[in-house]
């Protein structure tokens, strides 16, 4: 220990360092993908013990951040390897069978990876083979929205909702509300958010709805929506808190920002 303190570089000559390094890198990558920044810092700067604690407390409980299979029973493999195998499998099926569903599944993987151009190409290929597929239409609309092309996304999302007003548990309607906001149709967007919130209490919906209410001058109702997001988060399951934490942080920031300008709020 004294030798390591006086000469930190000696750790690189220890065989045990190189044995545990792949595991530490694996856990660090998973923490970054999951946006667990505190864990990532501890894993990167401290010993493999941090990586071990992360594996026990987060990875085993929730599974890989890439969305693959469950937790502790799976064998060791590099992050993303399941996804790469799935992409290879789908490409093989597309080459041999060319089914719309395989194009859609491949597009969904690309969308999750943030490869939006490839995702768009695959969604359009799926729709060429099955123009009535609501999933392909909705997901292409979401893909276009993420590419900052809301005007192109809007008709696709509206078409899906005409066929199925409750499509994807409100997710498609939320995407339409975001598209309407992006093209400057705030009143129409507010109506869509209101429809979502009749059946769901998504933080994503409440926060963006509240922001539009603030712009319209309805500060009291906006504050109520934001406060509900914060209150709900305190009692939500861990999975929901993980999924909604970006919106919860934004709700807290908007509340503090308003209170900073309006001490009597």
Per-residue pLDDT tens for 81-131? Answer: 678 889 999 999 999 999 999 999 999 999 999 999 999 999 999 999 999
Q: Say yes or no: 194 and 207 in one domain.
A: no
What is the phi/psi pair of residue 184, to 5°? 90, 10
Question: Could you tell me the pLDDT band of residue 135, with boundaries at 50, 70 and 90?
Answer: very high
Query: Cα(258)–Cα(64) distance, rounded to whole angstroms?
Result: 38
Q: Say yes or no: 209 and 173 in one domain.
A: no
Cβ atoms of 67 and 82 closer than 8 Å: no
Q: Say yes or no: 176 and 210 in one domain.
A: no
Query: Cα(241)–Cα(230) distance, rounded to whole angstroms?
Result: 11
Query: Cα(48)–Cα(78) distance, rounded to whole angstroms?
Result: 17
Short-list 189, 121, 130, CA closest to 158 = 189
Q: Which residues contact 264 (CB under 8 A, 6 or more apart)?
A: none
Helix (H, G, I), strand (E, B) or coil at 160: helix
Question: Could you tell me the pLDDT band of residue 42, with boundaries at 50, 70 and 90?
Answer: confident
Query: Cα(207)–Cα(240) distance, rounded to whole angstroms?
Result: 15
Among 43, 59, 75, the domain-final residue is: 59
What are the angstrom distances between the C-alpha of 117 and each of 82, 135, 139, 233? 22, 18, 13, 35
pTM of the model: 0.70
Cβ atoms of 157 and 195 closer than 8 Å: no
Q: Say yes or no: 174 and 93 in one domain.
A: yes
Percent of the chain residues topping a pLDDT of 90: 60
Q: Say yes or no: 196 and 208 in one domain.
A: no
Which structure tokens are listed for 89? 């499998």
Task: For residue 37, give its domain range.
Answer: 2-59
Q: What is the pLDDT of residue 199?
A: 94
Most confident of 38-42, 43-47, 211-215: 211-215
Query: Cα(218)–Cα(204) distance, rounded to whole angstroms?
Result: 19
Q: Say yes or no: 117 and 169 in one domain.
A: yes
CATH value at residue 176 = 1.25.40.10
**Total domains, the chain:** 3
Cβ atoms of 195 and 207 closer than 8 Å: no
Q: What is the pLDDT of residue 11?
A: 42
Cβ atoms of 178 and 152 closer than 8 Å: no
Q: Say yes or no: 264 and 213 in one domain.
A: yes
Which structure tokens are listed for 58? 């987060």
Q: Say yes or no: 159 and 242 in one domain.
A: no
Q: Say yes or no: 196 and 209 in one domain.
A: no
Rounded mean pLDDT, 173-183: 98
The answer as to whether 51 is a domain residue is yes
The answer as to whether 72 is a domain residue is no
Q: What is the pLDDT of residue 238?
A: 85
User: What distance lies between CA 82 and its chain's CA centroid?
Assistant: 19
Cβ atoms of 108 and 130 closer than 8 Å: no
Query: Cα(107)–Cα(124) distance, rounded to whole angstroms?
Result: 9
Among 148, 178, 200, the domain-final residue is: 200
Q: What is the pLDDT of residue 76?
A: 46
Mean pLDDT, rounded, of the chain: 84
Short-list 243, 222, 199, CA closest to 62 = 243
Which structure tokens are listed for 237? 């399951």
Query: Cα(143)–Cα(157) distance, rounded to whole angstroms?
Result: 11
228-262 pLDDT tens trace: 999 999 988 888 888 899 999 999 999 998 665 55
Cβ atoms of 247 and 229 closer than 8 Å: yes
State whether the Cα torsion 77-80-82-87 is positive or negative. negative
Among 177, 200, 223, the domain-final residue is: 200
């Amino acid at each position: 220990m004294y030798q390591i303190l006086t000469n930190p570089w000696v750790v690189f000559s220890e065989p045990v360092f190189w044995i545990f390094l792949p595991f530490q890198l694996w856990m660090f990558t998973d923490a970054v993908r999951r946006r667990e920044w505190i864990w990532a810092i501890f894993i990167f700067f401290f010993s493999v013990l941090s990586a071990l604690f992360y594996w026990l407390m987060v990875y085993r409980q929730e599974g890989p951040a890439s969305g693959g299979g469950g937790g502790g029973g799976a064998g060791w493999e590099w992050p993303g390897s399941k996804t790469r195998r799935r992409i290879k499998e789908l490409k093989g099926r597309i080459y041999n069978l060319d089914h719309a569903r395989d194009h859609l599944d491949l597009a969904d993987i690309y969308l999750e990876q943030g490869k939006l151009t490839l995702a768009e190409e695959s969604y359009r290929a799926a729709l060429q083979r099955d123009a009535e597929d609501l999933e392909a239409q909705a997901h292409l609309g979401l893909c276009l929205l993420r590419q900052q092309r809301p005007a192109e996304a809007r008709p696709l999302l509206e078409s899906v909702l005409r066929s199925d007003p409750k499509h994807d548990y409100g997710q498609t309607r939320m995407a339409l509300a975001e598209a309407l906001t992006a093209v400057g149709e705030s009143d129409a967007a507010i109506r869509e958010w209101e429809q979502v919130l009749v059946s769901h209490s998504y933080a994503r919906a409440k926060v963006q709805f509240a922001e539009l209410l603030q712009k319209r001058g309805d500060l009291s109702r906006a504050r109520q929506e934001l406060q509900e997001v914060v209150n709900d988060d305190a009692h939500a399951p861990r999975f929901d808190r993980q999924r909604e934490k970006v919106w919860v942080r934004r709700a807290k920031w908007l509340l503090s920002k308003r209170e900073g300008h309006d001490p009597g709020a």
